[in-house]
Structure 1
Amino acid sequence: MSTADWKPVANRQLVPGSGKDQFVFQRQFVQAVSGYSLSPYYGFSVNGYSKKEATVGMIMESSGGYASTTVRMKWAEGDWKIDPSGDGELFTPVSTEASPVGYVPWGGKGGV
């Protein structure tokens, strides 16, 4: 959600509620940055799952190694959506990882 058209994306991909409201409020004050690239996601892990909620680990690859974060998801309005925390954060703080072991690589990546 780093592009100028972030608001329609937030409306489609975030669970309605106070966390989404807080994210939208904070995000409106951030300027879109062009030419900025994020580290590509390398893979994921399902850390917890029920019919209504899931916790998904995401791992990114960069020139310095790997970094991971966790995203909370909820089944809402017929789809899995990100469930922002009460303070509007979409994911947990990023931490470094020694390797992608334990994560399922996205398509096209070598298996671990």
Structure 2
Amino acid sequence: MPEWTRIGNLTLVPMTELIEQNTYSIQDCINNGYLALAGGANGDPVVVDRRDRRMYYVSHELLWSDDWTELNECLHSTPYVYDDFWLALVGDPEFPWDFDEALRRWPLETK
């Protein structure tokens, strides 16, 4: 099994595991246009919207529960598109590492 690469507070999904990581438990994300690329220490995936390249944190607790009706209830948008997200992550030791930290950093009005 390949090692996950740590970048700042997140770990990258190895290329050889992209399919596995985007099926099963987070199948709803891929079905709605989001691709998981990384994860935080608690298991919250970080996904890219394949349509506009915007980056999101996913609450795995919400996603795996039956307490949502639309996927966006489980997502929190960052202010970054793909390229800018990784640059910001590398340059900021306080960069959010999960859904809850992202909510604190970027309140809901950025969604």
TM over 0.5: no
Q: What TM-score, normalized by structure 1, do the two folds share? A: 0.30
The structure with more radius of gyration = 1
Bigger strand share = 1
Greater RCO (Cα-Cα under 8 Å, separation 6 or more):
1
